[in-house]
Chains A and B, each alone.
Chain A
Amino acid sequence: MLRYNTLIVLLGVGLLGAAAGPIGALAVLRRRALVGDALAHATLPGLCLAFLIIGERSMPALLLGALASGLLGVTVLALLSRYTRIKEDAAIAIVLSVFFGAGLVLSRWIQNHTTTGSKAGLDSYILGKTAGLLLDDVLLLAGLAVLVLVVLLALYKEFQLLIFDRDFARVQGWPVARLDLLLLGLIAVLVVIGLPAVGVILVASLLILPAVAARMWTDRLHRLLVLSGLIGALTGVVGAALSASLPRAPAGAVIVLVAMAFFVVSAVARRLLWG
């Protein structure tokens, strides 16, 4: 018999996955998968700083801090590729490791120098933890996931055109740079709201794996988005349920392994069905 609280967590993480799927699909098609990973790692210092400033565990504050430093990371990334001779892959590696390193130092410092630090469970943001999610927090995450889905639905045709043929979109007069930034913003929001459940290190794969699994089944964008949403939702629910019965394993790892399973099944099935 599931407790009411567990049920809410399952639903919340399921909704998170439902939003991560289609946003991840767009991110992959836009070739932003690695940027998403760098963004995720770059959230850690902001998360820690937010904790230091607020002095207690408040999820909205932590997520805002995470969003700010994640976006700062992407900005540094853009500046590095634009104004230096560093190529994008190297710039991604630099941003990812330097921001994450700074975050690790900060989080260790917090745990050693504050009394609330260890209770704050900053570690759970690194590897993810679904069991301890509070009801209010789950509602916040689910609400943001729904918001992202609504924006995606409203701008489906615009994003499709932007990603498929940017020049053609510009000829038609669409503000492609701003649309691209909005898409990056949606990716960032999803990465950040995925942090409590999946953690900094693995959250990017929550975006990527359902999308590539869904790609095995369809050649049409609208079906791809629906299917990656379904696979993402299933991943979230199954992953959170499994991790409730495996309390010692980090939730992020469990969720990612579930996503991986969906991908493997899809890839094998495609091979068998269509050769």
Chain B
Amino acid sequence: MVPPVLEVDDLNTTYQRRVVLDAIDLSVDGPALVAIVGPNGAGKSTFLKSILGLVPCTGSVRVLGQPIDSVRRRIGYVPQRESVDWDFPVSVGDVALMGTYGRLGWFRRPGAAERRVAQECLSRVGLDGLEDRQIGRLSGGQQQRTFLARALAQQADVYFMDEPMAGVDASTQAVIFDLLDELRDAGKTVFVVHHDLRTVASRFDRVVMLNRRLIAAGPMAEVFTTENLQQTYDSQFVTLDEAIACSATTR
């Protein structure tokens, strides 16, 4: 039997004695595109970081049926864009190449094969010709695509992406959605923290609704309901349409 892609059991995360994630239980089967939604400060980023072992937490997390440390080579990560210094002296190509470092291991330098992979990944996100550009001299959408190319270069089976579509233009959004479809069709599972409720139902297979605790999780049609949205967003909205319209204006 194939184990679930993600299995979370009684996950609790606390920052300086403040509970941010409260007793999360979750099981997700793949391949699938999974949207993670919730208001600002709901703990969505913290949820990804807890799964990936980036913040201290209690409870058990299994990815592809194993503890995270045994499957790191099969995991891809797109952090929130604000998490790095874009003045850092690296080029777009350098960043894409970083995706291959995990496979390379200690001391080995990336060679021709790694450069080819990085180049292909840059092409897939439409960044051909920009590989020598310093990353600070990119638009927000190009920066997000650079991060995506790096994650693709990890050649992973499960991806975790933190708001890859925050602050991007419509053309970048289209590129990213096509890429997500390609990944799912290739049998991968992608978890995407996503703020735009308009596109959740149409572009994702499953949804995880989070607000410090797990409100609901499952197939889109069953779970993405007005009632669950009201609970997730603290009843700020009365109808599904209203919630969706509001998510379009608050970003």
CA distance in complex: A45, B24 (Å): 52
Stretch at the interface among A46-54, A118-126, A162-170: A162-170
Residue A113 is within 8 A (CB to CB) of chain B in the complex: no
**Does the CB pair A171–B107 fall under 8 Å?**
no
B77 at the interface (CB under 8 A from A): yes
Residues in chain B near residue A167, CB distance under 8 A: 49, 52, 54, 77, 79, 83
Chain B residues closer than 8 Å to A154, beta-carbon distance: 107
CB closest residue in chain B, given A176: B54
- B194 to chain A minimum Cβ distance, whole angstroms, is 19
Chain B residue nearest to A171 in the complex (CB): B77
CB-nearest residue of chain A relative to B85? A164
- Pick from B98-106, B121-129, B208-216, B241-249 the stretch touching chain A: B98-106
Q: How far is the CA of A126 from the CA of B151 in the complex (A)?
A: 49
Question: Among the listed B52, B91, B106, which residue makes an inter-chain contact with A171, where contact means beta carbons less than 8 Å apart?
Answer: B52
Stretch at the interface among A32-40, A219-227, A247-255: A219-227
Of all chain A residues, which has the CB nearest B71? A173
Q: Do B134 and A219 have beta carbons less than 8 Å apart?
A: yes
Contact partner of B75 (CB less than 8 A), chosen from A171, A218, A220, A224, is A171
Which residue of A has the minimal Cβ distance to B134? A219
**Min distance, Cβ A174 to any Cβ of chain B, angstroms:** 8
A171-B54 in contact given A164-B84, A219-B89, A221-B89 (Cβ < 8 Å): yes
B110 at the interface (CB under 8 A from A): yes
B90 close to A (CB within 8 Å): yes
User: Which of B79, B91, B102, B107 meets A173, CB within 8 Å?
Assistant: B102
Chain B's interface size range is 20 to 34
Is the CB of A245 closer than 8 A to any CB of chain B? no
Nearest opposing residue in chain A for B137, CB measure: A219
Q: Is B56 an interface residue (CB 8 A)?
A: no
Assess whether A157 is in contact with B79, with CB atoms less than 8 Å apart.
Answer: no
Q: Which residues of A contact B102 (CB under 8 A)?
A: 172-174
Closest to B162 in A: A167
Contact of B79 among A158, A165, A218, A220 (CB under 8 A): A165
Q: Which residues of B contact A219 (CB under 8 A)?
A: 89, 91, 134
Residue of B73, B79, B98, B110 with most partner-chain A CB within 10 A? B98
- Provide the residues of chain B in CB contact with A165, threshold 8 Å: 79, 83-84, 98
Note all chain A residues with C-beta closer than 8 A to B98.
160-161, 164-165, 168
Question: Which A residue sits closest to B97, measured CB to CB?
Answer: A157
Q: Are A157 and B104 in contact (CB under 8 A)?
A: yes
B-chain residues with CB within 8 Å of residue A171 when the two chains form the complex: 52, 54, 72, 75, 77
B3 interfacial contact with A, CB 8 Å = no
A219 to B92, CA, bound (A): 11
Distance from A165 Cβ to chain B, minimum over Cβ atoms (Å): 5
B222 within 8 A of A: no
Q: Is the CB of B107 within 8 A of A164?
A: no
CB-CB under 8 A from A173, the residues of chain B are 69, 72-73, 102
Query: How far apart are the CA atoms of A245 and B115 in the complex, in Å?
Result: 51
Residues of A within 8 A of B (CB): 29, 154-158, 160-161, 163-165, 167-168, 170-174, 215, 218-221, 224
A to B CB contacts below 8 Å, 27 in the list? A29-B89, A154-B107, A155-B107, A156-B109, A157-B101, A157-B110, A158-B101, A158-B106, A160-B98, A164-B84, A164-B90, A165-B79, A165-B83, A167-B52, A167-B77, A168-B77, A168-B79, A168-B98, A170-B54, A172-B101, A173-B69, A173-B102, A219-B91, A220-B94, A221-B88, A221-B89, A224-B89
